[in-house]
């Protein structure tokens, strides 16, 4: 399968996130993508392909226009206020406060559109997020051209980014943008299957009332884990989307046996929905050694995940999400892709 790459993504770098009481270098770094690219090359999985540029329209098909405008101009507005370093919020619009009047001030805007203090905006953030979305769109176009599968090697990741909200290292929801593009290319039903350790709150937000895009997420229980405020088992969607959202929260310490059962449940739901394309939000932060996560999947289990997804028998776009054990991310991601391709031992 082809691996879609975009060098603009490396420009989102050097930021600090608020973690356990102090600012530390972001876990989500350019080195992650380099490790995945190297492992993809070493495994001879297929050619690399540069991202094409589909413009802003497919981004605006899932994100709010004022939000996109904020992201595009946030760094300029930050520097216009005399700041350097990185833009990170110190205030958030929590329960009981107004959500209907966006502030004019950049500090207020960061808290209006952001939901955590872990997703700094730096000079290259917009170009990187835009580039990642274009990579995902290129992957969707490859499926349209008849490819059975494609891999969008993107960062920053996307599944925590909602219609008008950033956080969890995510700014534009690459998987959701690709899923919408597949819908617009004629796929009547599309599933987003999210196997990242964290709940894909942004993807759920974007498609919550949609019956044509199914959103399934296997993740650490939000009672215990980030993003904390969405991803419970009783969230099923609303309106036309009622029944098209499926959350499978799992406790800290979850290993392969329990995970495989949940993946079977997820795959049965995919079959019942009957999509003509699947977008996989592919995080490997479920790995036992991940520095910010608490599942216990082993390397060999990633191959099983890929094989199970392959058995769905649908055109499949893999979009990279999380995975923060930098030395291991490449081999774990590639194991999923190899399991899908049925390659190797």
Per CB under 5 A, which region of 148-156, 198-206, 207-215, 245-253 contacts Zn ion?
A: 198-206
Kindly tell me which residue out of 111, 231, 283, 306 binds Zn ion, with binding defined by CB under 5 A. 283
CA distances from 33 to 156, 200, 253 (A): 9, 20, 27
In the complex with Zn ion, the residue whose CB is nearer, 235 or 285, is 285
Residue identified by tokens 């028998």 is: 313
208-227 positions binding ligand SP5, by CB under 6 A: 226
Tokens at residue 2, please? Answer: 């082809």
Output 20 or 234, the one with its CB closest to ligand SP5. Answer: 20
End-to-end CA distance of the chain: 18
User: By CB under 6 A, what part of segment 245-304 binds ligand SP5?
Assistant: 283, 285, 292
H/E stretch holding 3: strand 2-5
Site for ligand SP5, residues 22 to 81, rule: CB under 6 A: none
Q: Does 205 bind ligand SP5 (CB under 6 A)?
A: no
Q: Which residue has the tokens 């995970």?
A: 259
Nearer to ligand SP5 by Cβ, of 160 and 301: the residue is 160
Task: Say whether residue 169 binds ligand SP5 (CB under 6 A).
Answer: yes
**Cα atoms in the Cβ-side hemisphere of radius 13 Å centred on 226:** 19
Q: CB under 8 Å to 190, separation ≥6 — which residues?
A: 179, 182, 183, 212, 213, 214, 275, 276, 277, 278, 279
One residue of 8, 11, 19, 312 binding ligand SP5 per CB under 6 A: 19
Q: Is 227 in the site for Zn ion (CB under 5 A)?
A: no
Binding-residue total with ligand SP5 (CB under 6 A):
16
Let me know if 63 is a catalytic residue. Answer: no
Q: Which residue's C-beta sits nearest to ligand SP5?
A: 322
What is the distance between the alpha carbons of residues 126 and 49, in angstroms, rounded to a whole number? 21
Bridge partners for 151 per DSSP:
3, 318
**Would you say 109 or 132 has its CB closer to Zn ion?**
132
């Amino acid at each position: 399968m082809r691996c879609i790459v975009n060098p603009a993504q490396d420009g989102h770098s050097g930021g600090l996130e608020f973690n356990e009481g102090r600012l530390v270098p972001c876990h989500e770094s350019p080195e992650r993508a380099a490790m995945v690219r190297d492992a993809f090359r070493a495994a001879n999985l297929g050619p690399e392909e540069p991202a094409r540029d589909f413009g802003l329209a497919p981004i605006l098909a899932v994100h709010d226009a004022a939000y996109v405008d904020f992201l595009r101009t946030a760094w300029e507005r930050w520097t216009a206020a005399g700041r350097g370093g990185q833009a990170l919020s110190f205030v958030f619009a929590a329960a009981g406060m107004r959500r209907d009047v966006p502030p004019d001030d950049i500090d207020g805007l960061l808290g209006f559109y952001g939901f955590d203090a872990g997703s700094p905006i730096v000079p290259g953030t917009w170009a990187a997020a835009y580039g990642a979305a274009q990579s995902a769109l290129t992957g969707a176009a490859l499926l349209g051209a008849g490819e059975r599968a494609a891999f969008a090697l993107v960062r920053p990741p996307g599944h925590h980014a909602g219609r008008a909200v950033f956080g969890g290292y995510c700014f534009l929801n690459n998987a959701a943008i690709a899923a919408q593009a597949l819908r617009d290319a004629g796929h009547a039903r599309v599933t987003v299957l999210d196997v990242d350790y964290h709940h894909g709150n942004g993807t759920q937000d974007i498609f919550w009332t949609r019956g044509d895009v199914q959103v399934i997420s296997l993740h650490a229980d939000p009672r215990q884990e980030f993003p904390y405020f969405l991803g419970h088992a009783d969230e099923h969607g609303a309106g036309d989307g009622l029944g098209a959202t499926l959350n499978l929260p799992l406790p800290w310490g979850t290993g392969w046996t329990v995970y495989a059962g949940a993946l079977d449940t997820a795959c049965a739901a995919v079959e019942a929905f009957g999509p003509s394309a699947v977008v996989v939000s592919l995080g490997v932060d479920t790995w036992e050694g991940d520095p910010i996560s608490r599942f216990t999947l082993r390397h060999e289990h990633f191959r099983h995940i890929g094989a199970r997804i392959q058995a769905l028998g649908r055109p499949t776009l893999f979009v990279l999400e999380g995975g923060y054990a930098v030395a291991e991310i490449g081999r774990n991601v590639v194991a999923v892709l190899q399991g899908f391709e049925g390659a190797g031992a």
